[in-house]
Amino acid sequence: MIGYQISFPAPGAARYEGKAEEAVHFTLRHQLLDAALWRRFVDVFKEDSDSADNGWRCEFWGKTMRGGCLTYQYTGDEALYRTLLAAVEGLLAARRPNGAFSTYPQDDCWRGWDIWGRKYVLTGLLHFYDVCRDETLKPRLLAAMTAHAERLFDEVGEGKINITETSDFWGGVNSCSVLEPVVGLYRLTGDERCMAFARYILSTGGCQDGNLIALAAEDKIPPCEYPEVKAYETISFFEGLLAMFEVTGDRFYLDTVEKFAAAVAATDITAIGCAGCTHELFDRSAEKQTDFSDGIMQETCVTVTWMRFCARLFALTGKEKYYALVERSAYNALYGAVNDHMLKQWDVGGNTLLDALPFDSYSPLVNQKRGRGVGGLKFFRQGGFYGCCACIASAGTALLPLTAVTQSPRGVWVNTYLRGGARLATPAGQTLILACDTTYPAAMDARITVSPAAPERFTLRLRVPSFVKDPVVRVNGEVTPVELADNYLSLTREWRGDEVTLTGELLPETEERNGKIAFRYGVLTLARDEQKEPGADLSAPLALSGEPARRAAPEAGETVRFLLPLQGGGFAVLTDYASCGKRWDKPHAAVSVWHNR
């Protein structure tokens, strides 16, 4: 099998400060440690709760379990582990006599979002298996996952129910995305029925309207011209193709996925690191992002799925471009969606004021407010509600601190800069303490100490993002030539408690598109916020004076703040996108990344 080239620190072996850490603990407080919420997620499997409305409540447990397990992999939080364990035991008690977990009646399943929900059950159990410390529970988990998958294999497949016809939505690509956890189960068990079913899914091309795999391999049209263009589900399907490469080593799968990733990045990823300006669809968003939209756009489910997809590609290939995409999505779209004021949210169906969820579902780009709808909103029979974007977000908030510092057979990788430290293993198996002091991304100023238990020669790979101007690296105070390969500097030496510093200049930059202008600063996309400029008209042309932007002290919740001089005097206030639009309960709270010229 093809293993990851890059691996994470052990649970609890890294601790950081700053926005990434704050997002993790926010998620713990408002979601992952909520035992009552987990019980609601389990109860839907006891009630056939999705039967009447072809619903997707079936996804909530597994999607949140995956995020909880990734968060545990970072934090090592014991209270979280106990909460996840109870949620797993609760789910195991809700399985059907035939071994399946479903929210559709046994005599009326294989429709709507049934297989999608079964996918997420398998996904959640697989992720818990990875962190499970109870050796008596692991065989029960394997047995439950195997029985659950076998019910799928028994009734869906060649000469049975066609998987692309098991849903009325998106050509069945949602059902076909079960490919990824089915391959994951094969990795654990070696069960050839799993591989046979995976190859059956591949034979369908992923949807009933065309062959997504062939289209990506041919690389002649962008994903927004595929027969199905739902961004989240399509990316999820291609993650299954990536899993096939991991277990087979067949380069066709990896090459096809990389072509798909490059096409999405080129045509559909926006300034904040998300896709979908027409609802949640691939729609050539890189171009359309400058248009005002009165509808929902830039779904948090897409942000997190894209982040996870790129992180997996990075772990397999070591290519910096994939990590750069993860980082951009995290610092902009994802952290912007953290509902840290815990405001009220509006039900898009009836203008009913609902209690807050911890994450916003949609992110505006042009003169629009946040909080305009709850993505995937579903109510529970016993009261309350939840949504798809709130469930998936914890997998995103765990990702940046989990991957900030990683290890490989030949050394240690510093991929982004978070204040704090990590305990890792050197190639020789020694304990290594790596500590970082930095204010990144507000500035490029990192001081890293590398302290193995005993002197050892290995390679430290230091990422130098492409937006860092004139980088300077010093080892124990001495300047080291910065010779980059794929935006990484490799420092191979005997390490014995040494200090490495990376400094460089970050400057506000502009991007012009379709007669509009946007601003960025390093990894941060900058935006204007009506709440920060009372009386400002964000739709009015931005009459720039030509003077450079002036740095100002950040205010509460901001990473950076700039004052942009305007003709005739006055300033436009530019701050990091993630800090904008948080008070969308106010009458004037629009946000804009793109500005008229």
CB–CB of 44/373 below 8 Å?
Answer: no
Q: pLDDT value at position 4?
A: 55
Indicate whether 84 belongs to any domain. yes
Q: pLDDT value at position 341?
A: 86
Place of tokens 């447990």: 61
Which pair of tokens denotes residue 549? Answer: 């932007």
Average pLDDT over residues 338-366: 82
Residues 296-306 have pLDDT tens digits of 999 999 999 99
CATH of the domain at 452: 2.60.40.1180
Helix (H, G, I), strand (E, B) or coil at 33: coil
Instruction: Specify whether 500 is located in the same domain as 517.
Output: no
Instruction: Specify whether 492 is located in the same domain as 518.
Output: no
Indicate whether 364 belongs to any domain. no
Average pLDDT over residues 127-147: 98
Q: CA 578 from chain center: how many Å?
A: 15
CB–CB of 488/463 below 8 Å?
Answer: yes
Q: pLDDT value at position 1?
A: 44
Domain end point (choices 155, 172, 192)? 155
Confidence of residue 350 (pLDDT cuts 50, 70, 90): low
Q: pLDDT value at position 346?
A: 65
The share of the chain scoring above pLDDT 90, in percent, equals 94
Instruction: Specify whether 126 is located in the same domain as 235.
Output: no
Residues 29-69 have pLDDT tens digits of 999 999 999 999 999 999 999 999 999 999 999 999 999 99
What is the amino acid identity at position 239? E
Residues 6-20 have pLDDT tens digits of 889 999 999 999 999
Helix locations, 231-280, DSSP H: 231-248, 251-267
Q: pLDDT value at position 355?
A: 83
Average pLDDT over residues 432-454: 98
Which residues, 6+ apart, have CB-to-CB distance to 271 below 8 Å? 289, 332, 365, 511, 518, 520, 525, 593, 594
Instruction: Specify whether 491 is located in the same domain as 418.
Output: yes
d(CA 329, CA 35): 29
Q: pLDDT value at position 585?
A: 86
Q: Tell me the pLDDT of the chain averaged across its residues.
A: 96
The share of the chain scoring above pLDDT 70, in percent, equals 98
d(CA 539, CA 562): 19
Place of tokens 């591989």: 195
Mind spelling out the 3-state secondary structure of 461-516?
EEECCCCCEEEEEEECCEEECCCCECCEEEEEEEECCEEEEEEEECCEEEEEECCE
Residues 364-422 have pLDDT tens digits of 999 999 998 899 999 999 899 999 999 999 999 999 999 999 998 889 999 999 999 99
Indicate whether 107 belongs to any domain. yes
Domain end point (choices 458, 483, 505)? 505
Instruction: Specify whether 123 is located in the same domain as 184.
Output: no
Instruction: Specify whether 519 is located in the same domain as 554.
Output: yes
Q: pLDDT value at position 6?
A: 83
Q: What is the DSSP letter of 534?
A: T
Residues 533-578 have pLDDT tens digits of 999 999 999 999 999 999 999 999 999 999 999 998 999 999 999 9
* Model confidence, pTM: 0.97
Instruction: Specify whether 141 is located in the same domain as 58.
Output: yes
Instruction: Specify whether 464 is located in the same domain as 521.
Output: no
d(CA 578, CA 334): 8
Sequential DSSP letters for 256-322: HHHHHHHHHHHHT--TTS---SBTTB-S-HHHHTTS--SS--SBHHHHHHHHHHHHHHHHHH--HHH
Domain end point (choices 107, 136, 155)? 155
Indicate whether 204 belongs to any domain. yes
Instruction: Specify whether 168 is located in the same domain as 145.
Output: no
Range of lowest pLDDT (167-171, 344-348, 471-475, 530-534) = 344-348
Q: Which residue range(s) make up the domain with 518?
A: 510-596
Indicate whether 377 belongs to any domain. no
Instruction: Specify whether 112 is located in the same domain as 181.
Output: no
Residues 61-114 have pLDDT tens digits of 999 999 999 999 999 999 999 999 999 999 999 999 999 999 999 999 999 999
Instruction: Specify whether 229 is located in the same domain as 184.
Output: yes
Indicate whether 365 belongs to any domain. no
Q: pLDDT value at position 581?
A: 96
Tell whether the model's pLDDT for residue 115 goes beyond 70.
yes
Instruction: Give per-residue burial for 325-360: e unless 16+ CB within 10 Å, then b.
Output: bbbbbbbbbbbbbbbbeebebbebeeeeeeebbbbb
Residue 521 Rama label (left phi>0; alpha psi -120 to 50; beta): beta
Instruction: Specify whether 524 is located in the same domain as 501.
Output: no
d(CA 113, CA 51): 10
Confidence of residue 2 (pLDDT cuts 50, 70, 90): low
Confidence of residue 347 (pLDDT cuts 50, 70, 90): low
Q: pLDDT value at position 410?
A: 83
Indicate whether 257 belongs to any domain. no
Tell whether the model's pLDDT for residue 345 goes beyond 90.
no
Which pair of tokens denotes residue 438? Answer: 């930095």
Work out how many domains the chain is built from and give that number: 4
Indicate whether 299 belongs to any domain. no
